[in-house]
Every structure is written in structure tokens, then in C-alpha cells.
Structure 1
């Protein structure tokens, strides 16, 4: 009743993430980096990209753009936090081959362009172009279901359904 009096909107605890990249789905356990494959940062999926545009997998707020532009964090209205980590060991590229199209604090919708990446340069200078998409606040997650097919299209293919606790 108080929410109605003060005009507060109910926030849906469930979010369906879209593919942030076009490419092939890779189970997180198969990512050749233990930080991701052993889910040290959280659960999620990964994509072996086939082109260089990275789009937002959900509507929310950009909460972090790494100075090296290789990773972006987004927070959904229900509190879910998603990290898109482009490639493996790409931090050492110091932003070379990455162009950011958003800044921290930006409001984004699913499908909005976040980054443009030169994946040929990533393949040349980093360990891998495989891009983990991590749910970083896993302690707040009630359930996560991967629903993606083997190949995904950025901004179109639904990949994961996540429900957060108590939102």
C-alpha cells in the first residue's frame, strides 16, 4: 500500500539477457581461464564472437567502463549486475583495438551499442577473443537458466533468464 501511495514502481525480479555479441555460445566451464571457468567472479556464459560490435544485453545503467575499455559493467533496475569482459588477457592491450560508445552513468537499453572491438587485433595480441558475460552479484541471484542456442545474434537472441532475490 505504501508503494502505491508514494508512486513507487514494482521492479520485475526476472530479467532476460540478450546476446551482447554475435557468435558461438561457449559454456563458462569451457573458457580457457580459471577465473572465469571456475566461476570465481560469478556464473554466466561466454561467446566466441564473429564480429566486432558489443551491445547491451539488458536495459540498465552503465556502472563501470574499465580504463582499458576491455570490460563494461551494467546494473539492471532489479539490482542484477552484469560484466561483459571482452576477450581473455585483453587488459594488457591498454585499450588498443577497443572503442567505447558509453560512459559510466549512461542509461542503456538492450541492444544499444557499448563497444566496437577489432577482434583481429585481439586475436593477435591477447590470449583469446572469447568473451565471458558474468553475473557478478551471484549472492543476489535466485535462479539462472541458460536458454541460448549454439549460435547467437547480438541484441536479438535471448541467452539467459535471471531472477534476483527479493526485488
Structure 2
């Protein structure tokens, strides 16, 4: 199955000059979603993580079925104020200003092997912040997996030597 056939280009969204890669058609197809999950999980089957760090919000859609495929749990990374128990936080720079992410303070343990999962790798700032958050908890971030990587935005450059995989690359 060609997953590219299930990604829709939306010109000038969210602003003029940007071509948005819409994953909605992929998610609307049971077969395409199953293939995407299989492709995203494949590189980690031989040495699965102990937990998947899921990035809000679309990362949740891929993290849970991947965790089922790989036999591990999911830890949620969310915007501030969305998690009910004690949290740890990391602030990171955006193009214009800063943002913050949180996870439950007791979600990861020292030395735990963690895979970060999100829908798209663009500039890499959010994923780098997630990796920092996991490392603050003492976890070992082993890799990051994405449905789509927009290589022209050089997101990997913000991730250092962290191994990255993507089912689809542009």
C-alpha cells in the first residue's frame, strides 16, 4: 500500500505559502492506518521500548496502537494544565516565543528505555523538548518515530544523534 496516496496537500494552510500535509484521509482508512502503524513499529520490533512517549495530540493516535504492537505502555506528554497529578515540565523555544510541555512526574523510571512517537517531524523543537523531559526523569530515549518527516525543515538537526524513523518522508 502506498501511504503517500492517503496524505492530502492543503495549500496555504495555516497561512499563505505553506502546503499542509493532512493525515485525515489516512486516518479515515482502516487499511492505511493499520499499514502506517505496522510501518512505524517495524524498526523497533527486535528491541522494543519499555514505554512510548506520546506527543499531544496527534501523536496519541499512533502511540497507543504502536504500544500494543510492541508490548509496552504509553506515557502522555501534554500542554500545561492538562494532566491531573504532579508533573514535570520543560520549556522550549518556538519561532516566535516559547512553549511548555508536561508529563506526570512518576510516569518514567531511571534507565527506562523510551521511544518518542508523534505524527510529524517538522522543525524538531517539540520532539527535542520531549527527549529533554524524559531524560530529566532519568529515562533513556532510544529513538523517535513519526508517520511523516518533512526533511526540508531539518528537524533531525535538533535531535542530535537520536535515531529517527518515519513511514513517509517528503
TM more than 0.5 = no
Q: Name the structure, 1 or 2, with higher relative contact order (CA <8 Å, separation 6+).
A: 1
Normalising to structure 2: TM-score of the pair? Answer: 0.25
Normalising to structure 1: TM-score of the pair? Answer: 0.26
| Richer in strand (by share) | 1
| Richer in helix (by share) | 2
